[in-house]
A and B are shown apart, each in its own frame.
Chain A
Amino acid sequence: MDILKLLSHFEGFDPEVYDRFDTRRKAMRQFAGIGKKLTLASLPLAASAMIQKAYGQTNTGNVAYALQLALKAEYLESHFYVTGINAAQGLGLQGDTLGKLKRIGYDELLHVEAVRATLATIERPQVPYVGPMADKPAGADYGIDITGGGGNGNGPMAPALTNLDVFLAAAQAFEDNGVRAYKGQATNVMPNKPVLAAALGIHSVEARHAAALRKIRADRAGVQNGYMPKPWPTGADPGNIPEPYNAKVAPLYGPGIGNPNMFPSESNTMQAGINIAQLGVTNAQATESFDEPQEGDTVVRYLTGQVLPDVKFIY
């Protein structure tokens, strides 16, 4: 591996590449130091680790990180659906809509098993629990609160458990977020082809769920004047979600916090330098044509209350 060539490649599309390694000289020294310590064969790996450090988790693989994140998202989603299905009577959840939600919930429960089993071959899957922070059982790694209350069970999304419209809106946001989160991990699982294949196969199911939930909500709103929300996000709009809930889920449709260039908001129309809005479609349609990935660390920050302090699904 020619380090200088590699760095100049990065310099080509990222003028700040040397800033990311502190300084050019330091970058050279870092690479040179590695060269002394390691054999030539392991050099590419060391270089890729340094590049990964400089660029976050975007350019090289991190299968365990991706699967732990996926497992968190699947636990959260499946627990949410199970809770809703078991509260169906109080929610007024019945008939065809209940049938669809049971299928979605079952899919998510199977995803938990699939992700957990795959992750277990790589490292210990983190274990969640449900309950107050003070009651954390031995062996549990983190708590999950589907109301976003950080363990008090009474967060801003608590009305989802008594109001079907809020429940469906929250489900839509969870699914749209799931699509972005899986997409954001594609490059992390890329080195492991079986895991990549499984992740892609879950990713498209999350997208089907998202579209199904959006249609359920549109049908409930009445479609005489058109579907609202549409089956896909338009711009960075969460999709016909009333306040105060809209503001609580809006960051899920925004840019990645750590790397907004690599993870733009859902309103993005530039793909590989091509402006999709100039290809004979409207600007809105251009944003709809491509779903954007979300940065893993941004998903984690959001779920753990580091984006909106009063929204904490994981603690």
Chain B
Amino acid sequence: MTTAPKPPAGGLPRRRFLAFAGAGLLATGTLAQGCKKDDDDDDDVPTPGPTGNSLTLTNDDVGILNYAYALEQLEADFYARVVAANNFSTNFAMGEAQLLRDIAAHELAHKEFFRRAIPADKLLRNLTPKYGTLDFTNRMQVLATARTFEDLGVSAYNGAGPLIASADYLVLAGKIVSVEARHAAFIRELSGVRFADSDVLNVDYSRMPSRFRSPIPNANGSDNPSTAAELGFNPATNNAIEKSRRPSEVLAMAAPFITETLTSQLP
């Protein structure tokens, strides 16, 4: 039994993963593309994934994956334009520019991952993002839009989580959302606002106590533990839990950035 091949680190092989999750069979050929040997991974162009035809988000796990794919398409396109803008390296200090390039790479990775993970016959179309009057050479405009996308992305993944039927997809969404939350916190700090505030959390920082006390009883009785009352805790409005958005809310907010019209059956 010890000679039997083990599943690869990171979970199930993709084909098994999709079959197990009930998402149907993959079009043949994409697996080979995804596994194409390529050692120089620095400046290389990714092997092309399949191109989708659908503009419909079905009310099931595939629909949620396509929903995430739509948002990641937007983010990836946005950051690709940010780092390609003419004065990018003068608008952003070296350290900032490096991290924005990393974020652009993370979003590209997310997008390309979904493109390969979603069954090709159900894959969402390549969307055409649009940005209205956004000036990609303007630092504050770029950061404000980045903040909108990142905060929206976190609330979108958090809102989609309870709709996901497959445990494997839930874990994958979890692996991505915390990276988006790290992006969001960093972009907010670059924009001159706190990593989080009551716009994204159910929190009222005006209720913060003037003197902090531990919630844990002390064995020698030197201090009483803090109480929910003195913290102003409220199970709905002051719990420091991040606000989530349903897909319908997110799609309405994302629609101005997408040329195509998506048909969503998601709640």
On whether A193 and B34 interact (CB within 8 A), knowing A270-B9, A273-B17, the answer reads no
- Once the chains are docked, how many angstroms separate the CA of A224 from the CA of B238? 38
Q: Within the assembled complex, what's the spacing in Å between the Cα atoms of A136 and B220? A: 10
In this complex, what residue of A is CB-closest to B115? A279
The answer to whether A268 has its CB under 8 Å from any CB of chain B is: yes
Residues of B within 8 A of A201 (CB): 158, 202, 241-244
Closest CB in chain A relative to B193 CB, distance in Å? 12
Please give the distance in Å from B111's CB to the nearest CB on chain A.
9
Whole-angstrom distance from the CB of A22 to the nearest CB of chain B?
Answer: 12
Instruction: Let me know if A280 and B108 touch, CB within 8 A.
Output: yes
Residue of A with least CB distance to B18: A272
B186 with A231: CB separation less than 8 A: yes
Interface of A is mostly: helix
Given A128-B216, A204-B181, A273-B14, also A183-B175 (CB < 8 A)? yes
A107 on the interface (CB 8 Å rule)?
Answer: yes
Q: Judging by beta carbons under 8 Å apart, are B235 and A117 in contact? A: yes
Chain A residue nearest to B99 in the complex (CB): A227
Query: Which residues of chain B come closer than 8 Å to A291, judged between CB atoms?
Result: 174-175, 178-179, 182
Q: Are B219 and A190 in contact (CB under 8 A)?
A: no
Kindly report which residue of chain A lies nearest to residue B239, judged by CB atoms: A114
Taken residue by residue from 5 to 29, chain A's Cβ proximity to chain B (1 for < 8 Å, 0 otherwise) reads as 0000100111110010000000000
B174 A113 Cβ-Cβ under 8 A = no
Q: Are A130 and B46 in contact (CB under 8 A)?
A: no
Cβ distance A229 to chain B, nearest Cβ, rounded Å = 11
Residue A132, interface by CB 8 Å: yes
What bracket does the count of chain A residues touching chain B fall in?
35 or more
Asked if A264 and B9 sit within 8 Å, CB to CB, the answer is yes
B226: interface (CB < 8 Å): yes
Binding stretch for chain A, among B129-137, B138-146, B205-213, B251-259 = B205-213
| Binary per-residue interface labels of chain B (152-175) against chain A in the complex, 1 for a CB within 8 Å, 0 otherwise | 001001100110000110111011
Known A-B contacts A107-B201, A264-B9; the reply to A272 vs B175 at CB < 8 A is no
Does A105 reach chain B (CB closer than 8 Å)? Answer: yes
**B16 touching A75 by the CB < 8 A rule?**
no
Least distance between B96 CB and chain A CB atoms (Å)? 8
Q: Please determine whether A110 and B238 come into contact, CB atoms closer than 8 angstroms.
A: yes
A112 and B170 contacting across the interface, CB-CB below 8 Å = no
**B88 contacts across to A, CB distance below 8 A:** none
The verdict on B199 contacting chain A, using a C-beta distance below 8 Å, is: no
Given contacts A129-B216, A278-B41, 19 further A-B contacts (CB under 8 A): A13-B12, A82-B212, A100-B194, A105-B212, A110-B231, A129-B218, A129-B219, A201-B243, A207-B185, A211-B195, A215-B185, A227-B95, A232-B179, A261-B6, A272-B117, A273-B11, A274-B34, A282-B41, A289-B106
